[in-house]
Every structure is written in C-alpha cells, then in structure tokens.
Structure 1
Amino acid sequence: MAATMGSKSCLLLQSFATFLVVFMSAICFKPSICQPEDLSLPRILSEVERRCVLVLYNKNIAHVETLANELHQILTDSKDITFGTSELILSDGLTWPNGQPLQWVGKSSKAKHLISEADGGTLVIFPKQKKDRECLITGPGRKPQAELFTGPLNVQTALDWVNNICHTYISPTGGLTYEGLHRDSILQNLFSVSHVSNFTMQDFNRQWNQGSLVSRLQLQNVSGESASTVCQPLDFRSLIFDGECSKDMKGFCRASEAEIADGDMLKPAFSQFGNTEMLKDISEDCPEGIRKDPISSRRFPQCERLSELPTKGQFFYDYLKTSKPVILEGAAAHWDAFRKWTMEFLRDQYGDKDVHVKLAPDGLFEGVEASSNWEEYGTFTIPSAVLDILPFPDLVVVRPATINLKFAEFLDMISNTSKVEKESGNGKPRASAYLEYSSIPNYLPELEQDIQELPFARDLLKRRHLNIWLSDGNTLGKLHFDPFDNFLCQIRGKKQLTLFEPHDNTKMYEAHIPEAKLGYDPLSRRFRRKKLLDSTAMVMAPVDILNPDFQRFPAFAETRPLNCTINEGDVLFMPAFWWHEVQSYPNVTEGRNLAVNFWYEPFLTKEFPCGHCKLDVNPLYRHLL
C-alpha cells in the first residue's frame, strides 16, 4: 500500500513538473517576455517615436545579467519605456540604416572615453522623439541622440537617471513613485468651468442675439428729435459682465450674472460718448422675448476673487496645480508705479526713446478673417504639402502694422486717438496704437523698481518675461492662449477677459493658421490689406466669440466661457494655455489703459498647436511633487 502511494506521489510530481515545463515554454515562447529583448537599430528607430528606449550594452553579459533581469522585470509593463539589450550599440563606426553616424548628447570625445571604460556593460538611453509642431514642412528624418549613463550600475541609480531624462516616475517595484502619484492626482483634479457653471457659448450666443445680455436703447439726435427704436445688441465694449462696480462706471453692475440692464444703469457707461441725456430707455418698446430671457438660470460665470493675498501654500494647492484662474483684488494698488507712472512722468523719462508700436484699425488686434479679403489672394501660393494639412487654409490671422516712433510721439498718438472713435465724416477707421509685449528689463529697466513681484510666486516659479502694455484703452485682443503662467496687473483702466479652459482644445480648433500683415501709411492714415505671409500662428483660435460660426465650428458651442474683469490695482492669475479674449477700457480721466504682466515658465505645460494634447506637469517643477 505504501509503495502504491509512493508511486502515485511520484507520478503526480512528474506530471506537475511536465506541466511546469510546458507552461514556462508557453509563456516564454517570445523571448522578450522572459528576458530583455535584443534591440536592433530599426527597432530602436521605431520605438523612439512613441517612448524612451533604454538599452543595456552587454559586452560582457555575466557582469550585467542581474541588472538586466531586474530592469526587465520593472519595465516590462511600462507604457513610457522600451527596455532591451544590445551588443552593437556602442560599437565603433555604428551607423543608422541611412548611413548617418550615431550622435551623442554632449561632447563625443567624452562619450568615447566613457565607452572605452564600459568593459562589462553600461546603459544608453534614447529620449522619445518630440514631434516638431512648429514646422509644417517635414525635412529629412531626424535620428535620435543617445545619452550615456555615467553613474553606479545599480537599479535605483539607473531608475533615477531614466526618470529624469524620460520625465517618468517609475519606482523599483514597477509602480509609481510618490511624485508620480502626486502628478496623477494633479492631472485628475484640474479646475474646469463646468464645476461652477453650465453656461455655454450656445447660451451666450442665444442670449446675445435675444438681447438678454444688454438693454435696448433709443438714441436721440442732437436736435432732440427721437430716432427710430433700436432693438439690437450694443457694441461689445459697452458690455460689463462683471459683478463688481468699477471706479469709472459706478452703478453699472449686477450681482455676479449677465442679465438685462436698465437704461439708467447704462448711462454712466456711455458717458464716454458724450451727453448721456441722448440715451433713453425704451425697453418697453422692444418685444418681450428680447427684453427678458427666460433662461435666466444659465449665468455667465465669474472668476473667483480674493481680497487678501494667498500664502505660497494656498496659491500652489488651490490655484497653480489646479490650473484655476483667480483675481487678487488690489494686489498692485500699493506699487509705486500706481501713482508714479503718469503720462508726464513717462514722457519726461522716455520721451526720446525709440519704441516699436503696433497699429490696428479701430482697436481690433489679431482677429481672424478670410484670406480672400487680401490683395495678394490669388497670387500667393501655399506649398501643396502644407496646404494639405492646414485645417483652415482660407483663413488668416491679421497681424498688426508696425511703426517705430519716439516714445513721446507714441504718447501723443494714444492721447489723440482716445478722444475720437473715427475720422469725422469719411468712415475711415482710426489707427489704434499699442505698446504691447514690450520687455521692461530690455527697454525700460528703471521701471522695474516701481513694481513688485508677488511674494508667493517669487521663489516658486521661474520668471521668463516682464512686459508693459500701454494703449488708448479702446482695444480688443482676439482669442488666443499664451504658453506661460501669467500675472496680469492692471494699473490704469480696466480689462474684461473672456476665458476658456485648455482641457479639450479640439473644441477650440487649435491649429496652425496662416498669417497676414497689415500695412499702414502714416501720411494718409490708411490701412492696407495686402501682404500674405508664409508663416502661421500657433496660438490663435479661428472662432469668433461675438459672431460664432457654429456650422463650421460646432464643438465651440459646447465650450464654457469664464469672465474675469480686473479693475485698477487688481491682478489676474491666468494659468498657462487658458484661451482668452481681452477687451480693454480706458481710465475715463486719463484716456489710457496701462498694465504690466509677469510671465513664468508654466507649471502645467503641453505641446502646441495640438488640439488633443493634454496638460502635464512641467519637468522643470518635478521637485515640487
């Protein structure tokens, strides 16, 4: 009986051993599953288009076998790293299939010296090839550069090196590091306008057309005779969506919503046009459907406002890492610039300085229009390779005309244009002058001592630019984004910004758009639409907020706008890549709009133009995770 039981046990063990051999043979049918793949050059070229490629140079496999197996086990399921081995990757005279030699990051002599010391083995990494989104004409195929590992050959040091170069967060267990978990949490908890409102551009357009966002007025001519009833929307510059009263438009406000405004409330806003008695409220004469929109529950949402500066921790956790706009009320009101930068001061200090000024008709800067409006249309040709991939080849971004002036001449120009909307009698558009994107450190360095960087941002973010913006105040900057975290500081006048989040840019139709540049004749003071450019804009939207073409751009109807209006002394934090259209208003007394802005390396970044590309934590700030 005992012998029989022993025989059965032996048979069971033999059967299990046979099963184990068959099972291991099955799962190891592909060598790459059980051991690192031997990577060929064509394989490296293929993989590096999608992810980093880590290669273990195994000149003496016995020296690196343990490391190879450990790294293979950790990286097998990685979506960001392809790992394998190669005996050839560091061979003398190695070339890619097209005959080009292998290129190294840094000095080749240093690489060769390190290679000569790599007797047992070392690691080589090929960073993922970032798509060139700037140029639409593709040149010869780029070949990846290699980076050589120079640290101690162990798992932890190797992973730290890989994570740093490939912007990954892989732990020795194959999971995510703490920093990687923090990053995932950040990306899953970004602020969206949908968190605070269901108001869409479809609602905006409907209410605008129905007249629910503005009142209806009757204009009386100078002689006092009544003009015909006007039941059409007012100019956008007359709209105030903000729930706060500005200093120069007292009484013209509503409680955090956009709804019909009484004529009496509009009168202060129209003081800039002359005698307010010329305005007569005739809302009772307009159809009921125009006077009152039944969809009053859908409100134009407003930016959050803080009356006190946040701490560094509050700003980081509540706004920076959530990509949430916020207005800091009065944060710049104590600056020396707020009292010091009068027109007289600027003229005295910089009157003889040369400045580069942008000019646009009637204050409309960088709108998008049909290329058929331009003289060179029909003779200007776009290469077919580019034309095939341009989504909107019939549109152009209208870049402003430029002129070089003495600063005093520029100040004279904005002083004059602030007093008149159009040339009398001829319908000729006024030339609106704008000193924009002008670097204070480069051109007006003495002014920097009169402003203060916000204390919570100074040691947190890396500053890239500090700009001054000065105009007559009657300007509209069309819809675009900036690849910087932005603190916009209002010194004179006010700005009304309409923002859109950057989380699904297919709805904003983000893409390359051809450019054209206005010409301007100072003698006749006329603009000319002539020159089409062989360049494209990468940060402009082809949609028009006030006249949206929902047939051509249907997804734009689903977007949710956010209103952020800043008054004198306010600072708006606008996270990178948020789309914004900026309507400026002048200080009524001084007839100008003056602001500065700090641009910082973005905490959250993305590739652009790319409608489907998502925000991600900027590798520059991985120490904050």
Structure 2
Amino acid sequence: MESDSTAPALSDALAELIENYHELNASTIDELHNEPSPLEFMHYVALNRPFVVRGATSRWTATRKWNAAYLREIMRGQMVNVAITPLGNADSPVQITSGDREDTLFVKPLEVQEAFEDVLEYISKQELEQRDGEIKYAQTQNDNLRGEYTPLASDVQDIPWVRIALEKDPEAINFWLGNSRSVTALHKDNFENIYCQVIGQKHFVLMPPIEMPCVREKELPGATYAQNPESGKLEIKLDEESNTVPFPTWDPDVPERSTTAFSKLSRPLRVTLNAGDMLYLPAMWYHKVSQSCSDEGLCCAVNYWYDMEFAGSFHSLCAFERSAALQIS
C-alpha cells in the first residue's frame, strides 16, 4: 500500500487520466457501411478504438446458409467440446457463501464431449420451449473452426484488409453457438478481435483499457463446475492447484456493486450486432457479451483473433496503470 500522502495524489492522477480520455474520445462507436482499407483499419488499431461494419459478412456462405438444418447436416456425427454451467456463466466470478463468510471464485465450466447434433437440439429447444436445466455453450476458443468445426470452415472468408494491415494470419478462428441463457462476463483479451455475427444477435458492453481502475480487479481462487455423482447437479469445486486468476469483479450492468472510487467515471459503450455485422474489438478492451436468438432458438458467431503487438508503449502503459490502480485499491 502507498503512504497516506501518496495515495490521494495517485488516485487524483488516475481519475484525471480517465476523465481526459473521455474528453478526447467519442462516446459512441463508429459505424461503417463498407469494409475499410488496410490503411483505414490501421488508423483504428493505432487509436485502439472499436468500430462496426454493418452487413460486412452478408454475402458469406455462413451468413446466407447457416441454420439448424444446414448445421446439423454438415456437422452430423462430429463430436464437439461443450461448456456446461447452471446459469450460463462460464469463466465468470461467482460468489459463494460458507457459514458467515462470502468468497468470490473464478469458476470455469464443466467441459464434455457430445455429438454436435445433440448439442444443437438441446440449445434450440431450451430457448424455444423455455426449458429449465443446465446451460450448454459451444465456446472452446481454441481455434475450433479449424479443428472440430472444420466441416464449416470453408463457409467463412479471409479478411484481407486485416491480414494486410497486421501482416499476419489469425492466431485463432473460433465458432460460438448458444442461446440467450449464456452471458460472457466482463473481461479483456490480448488479441485484436474481429467478431462476425452469423445467426441471431450479440449485445456488447465495451470499456477501454484506460478504465481498468473502474473494474475492481481481484485475484480470485480458481474453481470448476463438476457434476455431483449422486444428484447429477452441478456444483463448484476448488481447483486442486492453488493458483489465482486476476479478474474484474465490477459489472457495468450492476454499477452499484463491487465499486471502486473510479467506477463512477466509467462510460461503457454499447452496441448490438445483427446477422452479417462485424465488430472490430481492439486488444485489451473490456467486454461483456449477451445474446438474442433467431426464430430457431440459436445464436451463432465466428471470431478471428490476431496477436496484439506488445512492442511500443501501449502495453507497458496499460501495465503501469494497472499497477498504480492496484496499489490504492
């Protein structure tokens, strides 16, 4: 902890940093109606600012053809990894109560292998028939479109203006399939992210890296959902290794809880992607994601991760601000 005289000055400096950022940057997300050139894209990368391209993937085979029948046919017999949670909260902070004590854990989903057509049917019927029960989400985030979802890979396209600008191919291309029960908790990634909505809608809440002091990051003990062998219900089990995970615990949709002195300075940006829309989500931006389904009870997207550039000052400055914020939290 800093001394009593240093902490207020550091706090004032961090508050001024956040306020200055908002004075100099728009409170909305740019919407484009044509894909940018590589040079135009690099302008946004340099500024570390998001944008949406409406209808960018409307001509992709995926956007035109993917529905329940098509996906079932192309993926028939394929085994896929499925994340299972009780509340649709994979990789999220979860509060647990033990006696008079409350703890927050970082809880990962139970992961199982299931036939794709069974997963598809379960996700769809749960949404359409409002069934209770466990929430299933295909979301392995491990370049799965070029792995277990290879039969679908030819239905999406290369994004030349990104490849040319960044001078690299994507590190991972990921397929996501779920229903409206799944919500991705506020977090950040060390990737330049191109997110393409194919079926249904995605609703993003975005916060720039400069707002790190707002999110009350904590070192959370790791845990995983597991199935009780007797009841069959999901329960939380602490990981055997004693590692902790640094993770935000402030939710911009519940702004009065788990606040810091800086949370009131946050100005979250909100955007909805429809089928055919594309979002550039810059590296290190915090994002929380919820979703709405098509009339078949499905929400499906594909995203491209490109390694961020760690050289230069951006990553070092983010790390410095994080260290300063943690000193006074």
Asked if TM exceeds 0.5, the reply is: yes
3-state SS in 1 of match to 2:262: helix
Asked whether 1:506 is paired with 2:213, we answer yes
- Amino acid across the alignment from 1:403: V
| Partner of residue 493, structure 1 | 200
Question: Partner residue of 1:472?
Answer: 179
Question: Partner amino acid for 1:333?
Answer: S
CA drift of 1:551 comes to: 6.6
Q: Distance in 2 between matches of 1:552 and 1:488?
A: 29
Q: Residues 319-334 of structure 1: matches in 2 within 5 Å?
A: 319-334=44-59
User: Residue 335 of structure 1 aligns with which residue?
Assistant: 60
Q: Which residue of 2 aligns with 1:449?
A: 154
Counterpart code for 2:30:
E
Q: 1:458 aligns with which of 151, 158, 163?
A: 163
In structure 2, the partner of 1:201 is none
- Paired with 1:612 and 1:349, the residues of 2 have a C-alpha distance of 47
Contact between 1:373 and 1:529, CA under 8 Å: does it hold in 2?
no
CA contact (8 A) 1:489 1:570 kept: yes
C-alpha distance in structure 1 between counterparts of 2:25 and 2:293, whole Å: 30
Structure 2 counterpart of 1:367, from 77, 85, 92: 92
Match of 2:134 in 1: 431
Aligned to 1:531: 238
CA gap 1:302/1:410 in 2 versus in 1, 3 angstroms: same
Look up the equivalent residue of 2:157 and give its one-letter code.
Q
Matched, 1:516 2:223: yes
* Length-normalised TM-score, structure 1: 0.44
Count, aligned residues: 297
Matches within 5 A, 1:32-43: none
Point out which structure has higher relative CO (alpha carbons under 8 A, 6+ apart): 2
| Residues 194 and 560 in structure 1, CA contact (< 8 A), matched pair in contact too | no
Paired position in structure 1 for 2:31: 305
Change (3 A) 1:420 1:372: same
Tell me which amino acid in the other structure corresponds to 1:304.
Answer: D
Structure 2 segments unaligned to the other structure (5+ residues):
1-16, 324-329
TM-score, scaled relative to structure 2 = 0.80
Superimposed CA distance per residue, residues 292-314 of structure 1 (whole angstroms, 9 cap, x where no aligned partner): xxxxxxxxx43210011111111
Mapped contact 2:202–2:291 kept (Cα < 8 A): yes
Q: 1:475 to 1:610 in 2, by over 3 A?
A: same
Q: 1:400 maps to what in 2? A: 109
Deviations 1:3-30, CA, capped at 9 Å, x for gaps? xxxxxxxxxxxxxxxxxxxxxxxxxxxx
Q: Which residue of the other structure, out of 295, 298, 304, is the alignment partner of 1:598? A: 304
Counterpart position of 2:9: none
**Larger displacement relative to structure 2 (458-467 or 479-488):** 458-467
Q: Retained in 1: the 8 A contact 2:75–2:116?
A: yes
Q: CA RMSD in A?
A: 3.0
Query: Which range moves more in the overlay, 559-568 or 336-345?
Result: 336-345
* Kept in 1: contact 2:125–2:297 (CA 8 A): no
On the 8 A contact 1:352/1:408 being kept in 2, the answer is yes
Letter in 2 for 1:584: Q
Question: Which residue in the other structure is 1:358 paired with?
Answer: 83
Distance 2:317 2:106 in 1: 17
Taking a change above 3 Å as real, the CA distance of residues 473 and 565 of structure 1, as seen in their structure-2 partners, is: same
Residue 284 of structure 2 corresponds to residue 577 of structure 1? yes
C-alpha change, 1:365 and 1:339, in structure 2 (3 Å) is same
Cα pair distance change 1:612/1:522, threshold 3 Å = same
* SS of structure 1 residue aligned to 2:165: coil
Determine if contact 1:607/1:613 at 8 Å carries over to the other structure: no
Deviation at 1:557, TM superposition (A): 2.0
Give the whole-Å Cα distance in 1 for the aligned partners of 2:316 and 2:105. Answer: 22
Secondary structure of the corresponding residue to residue 162 of structure 2: helix
CA shift in 2, pair 1:505/1:192, >3 Å:
same
Q: How much does 1:360 deviate?
A: 1.7
Please list the CA deviations of residues 57-108 of structure 1 after superposition, one character each: whole Å capped at 9, or x if unmatched. xxxxxxxxxxxxxxxxxxxxxxxxxxxxxxxxxxxxxxxxxxxxxxxxxxxx
CA distance in 1, matches of 2:219, 2:319: 9
With 496-505 and 358-367 compared, the bigger mean Cα shift is at 358-367
| Partners of 2:213 and 2:322 within 8 A in 1 | no
- TM-superposed CA distance for 1:532, in Å, is 4.5
Once the two structures are superposed, the pairs formed by residues 248-397 of structure 1 within 5 Å of their partners are 301-317=27-43, 319-372=44-97, 394-397=103-106
Work out whether residues 484 and 575 of structure 1, in 8 Å CA contact, stay in contact via their aligned partners in 2: yes
Unaligned runs of 5+ in 1: 1-187, 198-300, 379-392, 424-429, 615-625
- For residues 550 and 520 of structure 1, what CA distance do their matches in structure 2 show? 30
* Secondary structure of the structure 2 residue equivalent to 1:581: strand
Aligned counterparts of 1:566 and 1:433: Cα–Cα separation in 2:
22
Give me the whole-angstrom Cα distance separating, in 2, the residues matched to 1:452 and 1:349.
17
| Structure 1 residue 597: Cα displacement | 0.2
2:198–2:276 contact (8 Å) kept in structure 1: yes
Measured against aligned partners, the alpha-carbon deviations of 1:21-59 in whole angstroms (never above 9, x if no partner) come to xxxxxxxxxxxxxxxxxxxxxxxxxxxxxxxxxxxxxxx
- Alpha-carbon distance, 1:491 to partner: 0.3
**Displacement, 1:518?**
1.3
Partner of 1:565: 272
Q: Secondary structure at the match of 2:227?
A: strand
Deviation at 1:345, TM superposition (A): 2.3
Could you tell me how far apart the structure 2 residues matched to 1:512 and 1:606 are? 20
**Which aligned pairs between 1:61-460 and structure 2 lie closer than 5 A?**
192-196=21-25, 301-317=27-43, 319-372=44-97, 394-423=103-132, 430-436=133-139, 437-438=141-142, 439-460=144-165
Cα pair 1:368 1:542 within 8 Å, conserved: yes
Q: Residue 195 of structure 1 aligns to which amino acid in structure 2?
A: L
Distance 1:326 1:360, change over 3 A: same
Q: Which amino acid in 2 is paired with 1:449?
A: S
More displaced stretch, 505-514 vs 403-412? 505-514
Aligned-partner Cα distance in 1 for 2:92–2:79: 27
Give CA-to-partner distance per residue, 1:210-254, whole Å, 9 cap, x none.
Answer: xxxxxxxxxxxxxxxxxxxxxxxxxxxxxxxxxxxxxxxxxxxxx
TM-superposed deviation, 1:403: 1.8
